Amino acid sequence: MLAAGSAAAGISIVFDSNRSGTFGIYRVQLDGSGLQTVADARGHEMFPDPSPDYQWIAYARAASLEEDAPSSIRRCRPDGSEDQLVVKNGTFPTFSRDGKRIYFERNRDSLMAVSLEGGDAQQLLPRPGWELEDHVVAKPTVSPDGRFAALITDMPSRWHTWIVDLRDGTMQMVGEGCEPRWHANGQSVVWVGARLKDRCGISQYNVESKRSTVLQDADRPWGHEYFPWISRDGKYLLWGACQWWQHSHDDSNYQIFWRDLSTGAVHRVTHDEFTNRWPKGLRTE
């Protein structure tokens, strides 16, 4: 059990998992206890993201795991109640810092934003004449101040992580790798860097210094580390990891781990045969 004074005290996590035969959204305590279903319908519920006040969870519902399968953005309460459609034709949602908008990916080529107060979705990327035109825009997230977008694209080849200034389109390459997530300070992203100890690990990239430092890079058996997320206070890191001979995000045996960044202690959350992905913290106190 977690000590009362630990960095992650009062935190549960929300994640997606294929434990029912299709992907659904689940909650669990960081010690692995108290597993609860949040959303698990006949399709695939994926990519959960808690609102800043922890009162809502946004997620995507897709008809299948095919890349071009119809998908929509939904939100519900952490207990699964009040489930509602936000916008059609979208995936991979994330809340804005004020909780009033949801950013999402559309058609694997656009970063979109939709207001929760109503109105049509707006396209933020790409814009005419900007470098990203005719390139992949995947897994995009927007910095807390709304200035930058971090995303995966196929420049100069697949897959590389980039940061785009949403004011003028200027870009800086983070490096070969994927899955960037903004730190709450808005000055850095955690991301999956390629070719570390066991194929990949998790690094943190500083936008100002343009340098990456390694946060988590284990060796076998759980050295393929993906799906990073850093807590808003910067004290702990969540991720999923699979064994060296696996990689597929659809059916590999990803397990969830977290690390106390002040002590370096690593804890395992799940112990099962399922694919557990995209963990994020959800405060329960």
Residue 106, domain CATH: 2.120.10.30
Question: How far is 114 from 271, CA to CA, in rounded Å?
Answer: 37
- Give me the pLDDT at residue 283, please: 81
User: Is residue 4 domain-resident?
Assistant: no
Mean pLDDT calculated for residue range 240-264: 95
- Give me the pLDDT at residue 199, please: 80
User: Is residue 95 domain-resident?
Assistant: yes
Q: Which domain covers residue 270, as residue numbers?
A: 11-283
- Give me the pLDDT at residue 6, please: 61
User: Is residue 103 domain-resident?
Assistant: yes
User: Is residue 27 domain-resident?
Assistant: yes
Greater pLDDT, 194 or 178: 178
pLDDT tens digits, 78-125 = 999 999 999 999 999 999 999 999 999 999 999 999 999 999 999 999
User: Is residue 2 domain-resident?
Assistant: no
One-letter identity of residue 182: W
User: Is residue 5 domain-resident?
Assistant: no
Which pTM was predicted? 0.95
Residue whose tokens read 């196929």: 154
User: Is residue 165 domain-resident?
Assistant: yes
Closest by CA position to 13, among listed 226, 181, 229, 164: 229
Query: What is 135-200 written as a DSSP string?
Result: S--EEEEE-TTSSEEEEEE-SSSSSEEEEEETTT--EEEEEEEEEEEE-TTSSEEEEEEESSTTSE
- Give me the pLDDT at residue 8, please: 66
Q: How many domains does the chain have?
A: 1
pLDDT tens digits, 180-225 = 999 999 999 999 997 788 789 999 999 999 999 999 999 999 999 9
Compute the mean pLDDT over every residue in the chain, rounded to the nearest whole number.
Answer: 94
User: Is residue 221 domain-resident?
Assistant: yes
Given a contact cutoff of 8 angstroms between Cβ atoms, the answer to whether 143 and 182 are in contact is yes
Question: How far is 254 from 119, CA to CA, in rounded Å?
Answer: 38
pLDDT at 285 over 60: no
- Give me the pLDDT at residue 1, please: 47
Question: How many residues appear in the chain?
Answer: 285
